[in-house]
Amino acid sequence: MAWCVPAGAWQIGGVTEPVVVTDQLVEPAEWVALPDVAEQLDLPITRVHQLIRDHALVAVRRNGVLRVPVELIATPNVRKHLPGVLTLLRDAGYNDEEALRWLYTADDSLPGTPALALSGARATEVKRRAQALGF
């Protein structure tokens, strides 16, 4: 098919972003175990596991226990824009660890990290940047 893009023609590394990234990884303020997440969200633990499977929430193993950064939870829900950003990052080929690394990498133009910006007026900008990663 002449109109198809040959496999491997699109490379994320060839795209330049018009933002200044410091590449300084910022550790989340606190890690919350899944039972505590369920309690904060007033959900059964099985529903929290479903949110993770549906990529509406991201959890990674820390010290052998699945944990979620506290900044991603806004009682009684997860951050409003988080599921959309996680979908965009997954579509760009990011796994959960890479998505967390992207969410917690300091960016001078936001300022702060995308994870913290999700709770404010810059959430739309975070979604735009996550979307651009797929191209």
What is the mean predicted confidence (pLDDT) over 32-41? 93
pLDDT band at 29, cuts 50/70/90? confident
User: Global pTM?
Assistant: 0.75
Sign of CA pseudo-dihedral 73, 92, 49, 63: negative
Which residue would you say has higher pLDDT here, 29 or 128? 128
C-alpha–C-alpha distance, residues 75 and 17, integer Å: 33
Q: For residue 28, give Cα distances in angstroms to 7, 45, 50, 57, 99.
A: 37, 22, 23, 15, 13
What is the mean predicted confidence (pLDDT) over 77-100? 90
Which residue, chain included where needed, has tokens 């606190």?
Answer: 30
pLDDT on residue 106: 86
Please report the DSSP string for 40-79 in residue order: HHT--HHHHHHHHHTTSS--EEETTEEEEEGGGEETTEE-
Residues 117-128: pLDDT tens digits?
888 888 889 999
pLDDT on residue 133: 84
Whether the Cβ atoms of residue 89 and residue 118 lie closer than 8 Å to each other: no
pLDDT of residue 44 exceeding 90: yes
